[in-house]
Amino acid sequence: MLRWLIIFLASLMIAISVPQLANSSQLLIQQGITQYDRENFSEAIQLWKQANQNFANQKNVLGQALTLNNLSLAYQQLGQLQLAEQSLNQSFHLLAQVSSSPEQSEVYAKALNAQGKLYWLHSQLELALTAWQKSAQGYAQANNSRGVAIAQLNQAKALQALGFSRQAESLLQQIYQQIQSQADIELKATVLRDLGSVLRQVGNLNRSGDRLQESLKLAKKPAKISSIYLELGNTERAIAERLQALGRSEARSHLRTALNYYEQSISLDHSLSAQLNRFALLVETAQSDKAIVQLPKLRQAIGQLPPSRITVYAAIHLSENWMRLAKSNSIEIAQFLSSAIKQAQQLNDSRAESYALGQLGNLYEQAHQWAEARSLTEKALLKLEPIRAPEIRYRWEWQLGRLAQYQNDRKVATSAYETAIASLQSIRNDLLRINPDVQFSFRDNVEPVYREFIQLLLTSEQQPSQTQLQKAIQSVDALQIAELENYLGCTLGNIKRVDQISDTNALILYPILLQASQPSERLAVIAQFPQASNQFVYYETTLAKGTAETTLQALQENLAIPGRTPEVLTSAKTVYDWMIKPLEPQLAGSSINTLVFVLDGALRNIPMSVLYDGKQHLIEKGYAVAIAPRLQVFTPRSSPEALAVTLGGVGIPQTIDGKNYPPILKLREELDRIAQSVKTNPPLINEAFTIPNIRKQLQNSNFSAIHWKTHGTFSSDPTETYMVAYKERIATQTLHDLVQISSRSGSRPLELLVLSACETARGDSRAVLGLAGLAARTGTRSVLSTLWTAQDAPNTEFMAQFYRSLSQPGTTKAEAVRQAQLNLIQKTGYTTPHIWSNYVLIGNWL
C-alpha cells in the first residue's frame, strides 16, 4: 500500500470553496472524505456518486470534476484501476469546458495528482513524474502552497525511484528552502513532517530525523505533535533495521529510541498506529511480558473502531505480531482474524479481505495444519483476481508455494514460487520503500522467496534437469538485481539478463549455499559452459551445519592479516575442493581460460583467485578470474578503442571528520607508470583532487577509463561508503554522480573504473555490493578494486603491470589482472596471498 501517497493525496481532496456548490452536495463530499479517511472506500464511493449526480443535475461542471477526482482515488484504493482511469478521464473532459480560474486550476491540480498516483500504480514512473510536475504548476496558479509542496514531494519520490537521486535530493532541498518563509507555523510544521517522511522513503534517514525534529519544535497542536513523534519512531526504527542488516550492535539503542517516540505519541493522542508499532517493537526486541500487557488494550481499541479498512488492517497488523509471541493463543487469534474477514466482506473490500484471509492462512501454517492453511491461502488469492494488488498477491503465492511443498506437491509449489517472483518483479519500485506499517524488509520479505525457490529446484532427492538448473540461475540473477536495487534505493531500469555468453573461453560458476536436513547444509555449484548441448553442470557438497560460513569467515580474516599464509592455504584448499575440484575432468579437456563467478553471501568477500588445489592457485593454473552479476550493463564485450585514462588521487596525510588517512607515498610514481602504457589526461593530485575539479575534468575530458588512487571504503550501508578527496569525503551519491558524468548519459558507458587504494568494510558480507552497485548505477562496464588495505609498493607494481598487459592487443581485463598478480608472485617477490590476491574485477571481464 503506497501509504505515503495516500496520506498526501487524501489531505488534498477536501472540496475547495466554489460558490456554486450546493450545501447538500458539499455535505456529501465531506461525508465521503470522512469515510475515505477511515479507509471505508466503498461507502465513500457511494456518497461521491450521489454528489456527482447532484452536480450533473445542477450542470455544475467544476463540482462534477472535483467529485470524479475523489472517486478515482477511492477506486485506486480498491484496486479497481479501470474505473479509476475512467473517472479521471471524465474529470479532465469536464475541466476542459471550464474557463481558467484559481478554482479551476486547483481542481485540475487535484486531478493531475490523482493521475500521477494512477501512473505510479501502473509502474509508469516517467508519466507519474510529469503528472506531478504539472500538478505543482496548477497548485501554484491557485496559490495553494501546501498543494505545491505535496506535489513536489511526490515528484521527489518518483525521481528517486527512477534513479535520479541527485535531482530528488535537490528538489527536497528546494522544498525545504521554500517553506522557510512560510508564515503559517502549523502548515510549516506539517510540510516539514511530510518532508521528513519522504526523506525516510528515499533512504536519507539522518536528514529525515533532522526535518522531523524541526517540525516538532514548531507544532503546537497535540494531534500534530503526536503524528510527528510517530514519524520519528518510524525513522529510528528504519535506522535500526539498516544497522541490524549490517550486524551492528548500535541497532539496539535506535530501537529503544523508537520505542520512546512511540510512547510519547501515544501519551499525546492515543495514536493507534503508534500503539501497534510499539507492540511490534516490543515483540521484536523480545520484551514479551510488556507486549502481553498491551494486548488487551489494543484488542479493545480495535474492537471499538467503526468498520473500515483501517480497522481491518489494524487487526491484521496486531495479529501478525501477536502470532510471534511464545505464549500466543491460536484460537483467539483465529477468532480475531475471522472478525476482520467478516468486516472486510461487509465493506466489500476485496483487498482487505484477501489480506485477512492470507494472514489467517499463515496462522494455520504455523500450526502445521497444511490443508486448512492452503484452502485459506487459495481463497485469499481468489479475492485478488479482479484487482491489481501484487504487493499482497506475492505474499500468498509465496505462502502457497511453502504449503504445497509441505504437502509434497512439487508441481504446485514450483508454479506458486514462479508466480510469486513474477509478482515481485512487477513491484520492484515499491520494494524500495521503508514502511513499518506493513513490517516490510528486504531481508525478511523478499530474499527468502528467491532462496526457497532455488532450494526447491535444487532438491537433494534427484539430479536437477537442465530446465531446473536454468530456472535456478535465473532466480540467482533476479535476486542479485533485487539486492542491488535494494542497496541503491532505486530501480536499474529495464534490466536484461545475459543468457548467451559470446566468450567461448569463459565458464560461469554459480555457488549457492543451501539448507539441508539438520545438522547439515549443502554447497551447490551450477557451472554454465559456453555453447554446449548440456550447458549446465550441477554438483554439490554436503557439509556439517555452519561449516561453510566458518571456513569462509576464517579465510577472509586470515587473508587480511600478513603472515597468515599457512592458514590461508588450508582454507583456500577446502573451498577449492568444494567449488572447483568436481569440475577438473571437464576443465581438463576444454579451452576454458576464464572463470566468472556469480557470488552470493559470504563468498562475495573472498577473492576467487586465491583458491588452491594443494600445489597451485587458480591464476597459476592458467585461469583468469572475474566477478560478474549477470546484467545487461555487464554484458561481456571487448572495447574496440584503445584505453584513454583520466587519473587522480590524494597521497598526502589527512584527518577528516576525526579519522586519520595515512600518506600514499607512491601516488605520483603509480600514475606516471600508468601513463607509460596507456593514453592519459593530466592527473589531479592532492590539493587539486577536489569534487569541483573532478567534476570539471570529467565533463571536459575525452576518456574511457578512470583511475583514482586514494583512500576509501565500500560498505553494504551506502551512508558508510565513501572515497577521500582533498579535505573532504566523497559520499556515495556524489561518487555515483561523478562517475555517471563519464558515462555520457549512457551513450558511451565508462569502460573501466579502477579504485587503487580503497577497501571493503571488514566483517560486512555484502560490502562488495557497494562496488557492484557503483558499476550498475553508473553504467560502468568494469570495476577493479581491492578488498582490504593494499600495501603501497606492491599495489603500484600491480597497477603498472595491469595497464601494461591491458595495452597489449587481445588481452582481456581479467587476463591483465592475472598477469599483474603473477608478476607480483614471480618477479617482484610478493608471494604471500595477502598481497597479490587482494584484487577483484567486477563486471565485464573482456
- Same structural domain, 673 and 623: no
The residue range of the domain holding 792 is: 634-843
The pLDDT of residue 745 is 43
pLDDT, mean of residues 706-711? 95
Asked if 629 contacts 776 with a C-beta cutoff of 8 angstroms, the reply is: yes
Q: Within a domain: residue 787?
A: yes
Domain annotation covers residue 164: no
Whether the link from the prior residue into 519 is cis, omega within 30° of 0, is yes
Q: 732 and 722, same structural domain?
A: yes
By mean pLDDT, which of 29-43, 217-231, 406-420, 650-664 is the weakest?
29-43
**Interatomic CA distance for residues 787 and 536, integer angstroms:** 30
User: Which residues, listed in sequence order, are joined to residue 511 by a DSSP beta bridge?
Assistant: 525
Instruction: Say yes or no: 607 and 643 in one domain.
Output: no
Residue 165 has pLDDT above 70, yes or no: no
Q: Which of 632, 667, 682 is the last residue of a domain?
A: 632
Q: What 8-state DSSP symbol labels residue 561? A: S
Residue 789 burial class via C-beta count within 10 angstroms: exposed 0-12, middle 13-18, buried 19 and up: middle
How far is 580 from 244, CA to CA, in rounded Å? 34
| Confidence grade of residue 399 (pLDDT, cut at 50, 70, 90) | very high
Which grid cell sits at 500? 548467451
Q: Which amino acid is at 406?
A: Y
Residues 611 and 677 in one domain: no
Range 803-811 contact pairs with CB under 8 angstroms and sequence separation of 24 or more: 803/643, 803/645, 803/673, 803/674, 803/677, 803/678, 804/676, 804/677, 806/643, 806/677, 806/678, 807/642, 807/643, 807/677, 807/678
CA proximity to 508, closest of 456, 559, 469, 555: 469
Grid cell at residue 593: 581460460
- Closest by alpha carbon to 75, among 53, 112, 42, 106? 42
Q: Is residue 287 a part of any domain in this protein?
A: no
Per-residue confidence at 636, pLDDT binned at 50, 70, 90?
low
In this structure, the answer to whether residues 568 and 703 fall within a common structural domain is no
Q: Are residues 57 and 98 in contact, defined by beta-carbon separation less than 8 angstroms? A: no
pLDDT tens-digit map of 249-285: 888 999 999 999 999 999 988 888 999 999 999 998 8
Concatenate the DSSP letters of all residues of 242-310 into one string.
HHHHTT-TTHHHHHHHHHHHHHHHHHHH--HHHHHHHHHHHHHTT-HHHHHHHHHHHHHHHHTSPSSHH
Domain C-terminal end among 609, 632, 655: 632
**Are residues 651 and 628 part of one domain?**
no
Question: Which of 114, 145, 176 represents a domain boundary (last residue)?
Answer: 145
- 294-338: per-residue pLDDT in tens? 999 999 999 988 888 888 999 999 999 999 997 778 999 999 999
Tens digit of each residue's pLDDT (9 = 90 or more) over 62-117: 999 999 999 999 998 888 888 999 999 999 999 999 888 888 999 999 999 999 98
How many C-beta atoms surround the C-beta of residue 222 within 10 A? 11
Q: What is the mean pLDDT of residues 563-588?
A: 95
Q: Would 734 be classed as within a structural domain?
A: yes
pLDDT of residue 37: 82
Average pLDDT, the chain: 86
Q: Are 41 and 77 in contact, with CB atoms under 8 Å apart?
A: yes
Q: What are the cell numbers at 826? A: 614471480
Give the pLDDT confidence of 672-694 residue by residue, as tens digits.
999 999 999 999 999 999 999 99
**Same domain membership, residue 673 and residue 813:** yes
CATH of the domain at 615: 3.30.420
User: Which cell goes with 363?
Assistant: 496462522
For residue 72, what is the domain's CATH number?
A: 1.25.40.10
* Residue 707 and residue 572 share a domain: no
For residue 768, name the pLDDT band (cuts at 50, 70, 90). Answer: confident
pLDDT digits (tens, 9 = 90+) for 178-233: 888 878 888 888 888 888 887 887 778 888 999 999 999 999 989 889 999 999 99
Query: Three cell numbers at 282?
Result: 516490543
Flag whether 752 is in a domain. yes
CA–CA dist 162, 150 (Å, integer): 19
Specify if 279 maps to a domain: no
pLDDT of residue 10: 38
Question: What integer pLDDT is reported at residue 438 of this predicted model?
Answer: 34
pLDDT digits over 553-568, tens only?
999 999 989 889 999 9
Residues 646 and 514 in one domain: no
Structure confidence at residue 574 (pLDDT): 97
Look at the chain and report how many structural domains it folds into: 3
Note the pLDDT tens digit of each residue in 444-489: 788 899 999 999 999 867 789 999 999 998 888 888 877 777 766 6
Residue 83 located in a structural domain = yes
Residue with C-alpha cell 529510528? 236
Positive or negative: CA dihedral 394, 395, 400, 406:
positive
Query: Within a domain: residue 283?
Result: no
* pLDDT score, position 614: 96
Q: Is 183 in a helix, a strand, or coil? A: coil
Residue 736 shares a structural domain with residue 789: yes
- Contact call for residues 72 and 89 (beta carbons, < 8 A): no
639 and 788 in a single domain? The answer is yes
What pLDDT score was predicted for residue 765? 67
Give the Cα separation of 846 and 843 in Å (integer).
9
Distance CA 109, CA 439 (A): 33
Q: The domain that contains 679 carries what CATH number? A: 3.40.50.1460
Same domain, 839 and 750: yes
Distance CA(586)–CA(584), nearest Å, equals: 6
User: pLDDT at position 452, please?
Assistant: 94
Percent of the chain scoring above 90 in pLDDT: 53
How far apart, in whole angstroms, are the C-alpha atoms of residue 217 and residue 215? 5
Looking at the DSSP assignment, which residues form a beta bridge with residue 784?
Answer: 754, 841
Give the integer Cα–Cα distance in Å for 364 and 373.
5
For 278-303, letters b (16+ CB in 10 Å) and e give: bbbbbbbbeeeeebbebbeebeeebe
Of residues 402 and 514, more confidently modeled: 402
Rounded mean pLDDT of 808-817?
94
Give the Cα separation of 699 and 601 in Å (integer): 37
Give the residue ranges of DSSP H helices in 621-729: 667-675, 691-700
